[in-house]
Amino acid sequence: MSDYPVFTRKVHTDLSYIACARKLLAEPDYIYPQFATHNAQTVATIYQLAQPEQYYAGQYEFQCLHGMGEPLYENVVGDPSKNKLGIPCRIYAPVGNHETLLAYLVRRLLENGANTSFVNRIADKTLNIEDLIENPQQTILKASKQENVLGAKHPHIPYPQDLYADARINSSGLDLANDAELRVLNEVASSLANTQFQAAAMGTAFTVIDTSNVVQIINPAHHQDVVGTVYEATSEQAEIALTQAVNAQSFWANLSKNERAACLNRAAELMEQRLLPLMVLLSREAGKTYANAIAEVREAVDFMRYYSAQVLDLSDNVQIQPLGTVLCISPWNFPLAIFTGQIAAALVAGNTVIAKPAEQTPLIAAQAVQILWEAGIPQDVLQLLPGRGETIGAQLSADSRIQGIMFTGSTEVAQILQKTVAERINQFGESVTLIAETGGQNAMIVDSSALTEQVVLDVVSSAYDSAGQRCSALRVLCVQEDNLEAVRNMLKGAMQQLRVGNPVLLKTDIGPVIDAEAKQNIQQHIEQMRRKGHKVHQLMFNQDQTELTPGTFIAPTLIELPNLDDLEREVFGPVLHLISYKYGELEQLLDQINSKGYGLTMGLHTRIDETMQTVIA
């Protein structure tokens, strides 16, 4: 967004409250206004707006929280003959158990404890009464004279694009709650609904497409939708690409760091301008919801600006020694963001790049390479070789001209790459660089002090967003048995509110898993857990599942386990495993989690300092 959808100064909120009150009071035939406030200035303003000389029973009322503002409301509800206002006030109070009300209490304490709160300021004996009761309109006009602008935002709250100050520009997105922006998105989506995209080997040597290895890319949400065609690279093309990359290395390494950074910044701007068509392609090819697609394009843009800023921040006479030709192998779950991030990091440091995208998502990768070329990256400095990991990937990673590998994917493949590069050294006589990010058996620990509502919000977001297809997604929820039942019941209720379906629909919460193989692997795991006698809950909002048959969908799944013994590897989908632990068993639980050998992300819900220290120790 270009600006915030809320006020950044309290005085603007105060004035808006009065403006709304004026509108409410002007429609007595349709609205019975009820004004909840503990601010004496606001009470006095509403009293005058309602024209007290014309007051009648049922015109409006005030409201206050039980136990607050009592001295103020004694004057509001008191007898007019005793110099009181004689306006009714409804006293309200929250009702519920301790767990439910604690969060409400904390919020009220934070509100009333704020420096700008009337309840706080009235206790400040250093404040003049005139300042305390000043009309917000007058306060705003005073500020406008000092700032030479009316209604300026808070000076210490930057606009969204300026969040990173002078370091870099923040990426922009799309407001999916804005009808005007949605209309434009719908027009773009409609125009691209039947577009056939294409990917093939990209570089100056590949002007003619080799059609020997042709694969159709289908929409995982709707298999009748052929998104495009990929012409997978051949062994001969891989050999040519390696030669071209080595020959281009000297030119690119000798280009100034600032010129390389400028290319990335131009690419970021171009990608941002093409947000809508990239969103549509991400949805069709990778099954992304539009919310996830926006986040992915923004992440790709941020990666380019971040790495550019890192290099620009170095002194002009710094000596950057590139590795040489770097192989970037990216995954299908973030086919634009991680693909772009790997390439941007390698390029800005002066390396030439051969990019091999995941075989499921080459079309979005081709779009990204085209954008980088348009931004000024030479075509031999960045080349694209779509193809299978076991063929093109294996050939490239084993070649001695590859001086570094950046990989995101499975742990098994990362181990193969590790063995491959361990057999040789780079041009500087050092180990060949391998940067690998792999999967995780990610756990969250929830003790008895945690707020159940907060826990469930985080669990649903982490375990089921993106259909669980994130390396950082929650896989194992460990709940202290004292609040296991409450967490389990609320989590199952939340799962029943999740809509599974076509990601182009805004109502969809969870899209498809990437392909039939992924669906089969996930289903096999679920059935294996059932056969072992574990409770399996598959819940979603959809009553009619026939609408899911055209794609590869898995309902949000919760599997109750007695321990972690049956979890041997990561299950890459919307599947969460639930175990419980007893009070006093936290250290044993941590040992079990660590013994799985998949340490990537970790979550903790507690309000006990001792628990925090135990977990991070």
Per-residue confidence (pLDDT) for residue 98, from 0 to 100:
78
Q: How confident is the model at residue 89 (pLDDT cuts 50, 70, 90)?
A: very high
Angle at 195 between CA 190 and CA 197, to 5 degrees: 140
Residue 254 has pLDDT above 90, yes or no: yes
pLDDT tens sequence across 138-148: 899 999 999 99
Q: How confident is the model at residue 2 (pLDDT cuts 50, 70, 90)?
A: confident
Per-residue confidence (pLDDT) for residue 133, from 0 to 100:
75
Per-residue confidence (pLDDT) for residue 71, from 0 to 100:
86
Residue 88 has pLDDT above 90, yes or no: yes
Per-residue confidence (pLDDT) for residue 69, from 0 to 100:
81
The dihedrals phi and psi of 222, each to the nearest 5 degrees, come to: -155, 95
| Percent of the chain clearing pLDDT 90 (strictly above) | 82
Per-residue confidence (pLDDT) for residue 114, from 0 to 100:
74
More confident residue, 569 or 108: 569
Task: Pull the structure tokens for residue 145.
Answer: 């004279």
Q: How confident is the model at residue 273 (pLDDT cuts 50, 70, 90)?
A: very high
The dihedrals phi and psi of 227, each to the nearest 5 degrees, come to: -75, -35
**Of 443, 461, 449, whose CA–CA distance to 600 is shortest?**
443
Structural domain spans, the chain: 10-157, 179-437, 443-616
- Amino acid identity, position 202: M
Per-residue confidence (pLDDT) for residue 612, from 0 to 100:
95
Mean pLDDT for the stretch of residues 178-191: 96
Contacts of 337 (CB under 8 A, 6+ apart): 296, 297, 299, 300, 303
For tokens 């590998």, the residue is 405
Mean pLDDT taken over the chain? 94
Torsion angle, alpha carbons of 401, 405, 410, 414, to 10: 70
Per-residue confidence (pLDDT) for residue 251, from 0 to 100:
97
**What topology is assigned to 443-616 in CATH?**
Aldehyde Dehydrogenase; Chain A, domain 2 (3.40.309)
Per-residue confidence (pLDDT) for residue 406, from 0 to 100:
98
For tokens 């694009």, the residue is 161
Per-residue confidence (pLDDT) for residue 395, from 0 to 100:
97
Q: How confident is the model at residue 121 (pLDDT cuts 50, 70, 90)?
A: confident
How far is the CA of 478 from the CAs of 208, 325, 444, 465, 612, in angstroms? Answer: 55, 44, 6, 19, 15
Per-residue confidence (pLDDT) for residue 334, from 0 to 100:
97
Residue 243 has pLDDT above 80, yes or no: yes
Q: SS in 3 state form for 456-483?
A: HHHHHHHHHHHHHCCCCCCCEEEEEHHH
**Segment 372-379 long-range contacts (CB within 8 Å, at least 24 positions apart):** 372/263, 372/267, 372/343, 372/347, 374/267, 374/270, 375/263, 375/264, 375/266, 375/267, 375/270, 376/262, 376/263, 376/266, 377/263, 377/267, 377/347, 378/248, 378/251, 378/252, 379/202, 379/203, 379/204
Per-residue confidence (pLDDT) for residue 206, from 0 to 100:
96
Residue 84 has pLDDT above 80, yes or no: yes
Instruction: Kindly report which listed range (32-41, 291-300, 345-354) carries the lowest average pLDDT score.
Output: 32-41
CB 446 within 8 A of CB 483: yes
pLDDT tens sequence across 440-464: 889 999 999 998 999 999 999 999 9
Distance CA 475, CA 441 (A): 6
Q: How confident is the model at residue 108 (pLDDT cuts 50, 70, 90)?
A: confident
How far is the CA of 568 from the CAs of 445, 525, 563, 596, in angstroms? Answer: 19, 11, 12, 7
Q: Which of 90-94, 156-160, 382-386, 543-547 is most confident? A: 382-386
Residue 610 has pLDDT above 80, yes or no: yes
Beta strand extents in 291-377 (DSSP E only): 325-329, 352-356
Catalytic center residues? 437, 471
CATH class for the region spanning 179-437: alpha beta
Q: How confident is the model at residue 3 (pLDDT cuts 50, 70, 90)?
A: confident
Per-residue confidence (pLDDT) for residue 70, from 0 to 100:
85
Per-residue confidence (pLDDT) for residue 598, from 0 to 100:
73
**Sheet of 402-408, strands arranged across:** 382-384, 352-356, 325-329, 402-408, 433-437
Is 602 in a helix, a strand, or coil?
A: strand
CB 219 within 8 A of CB 373: no
Mean pLDDT for the stretch of residues 324-343: 98
CB 346 within 8 A of CB 311: no
| Entry pTM | 0.90
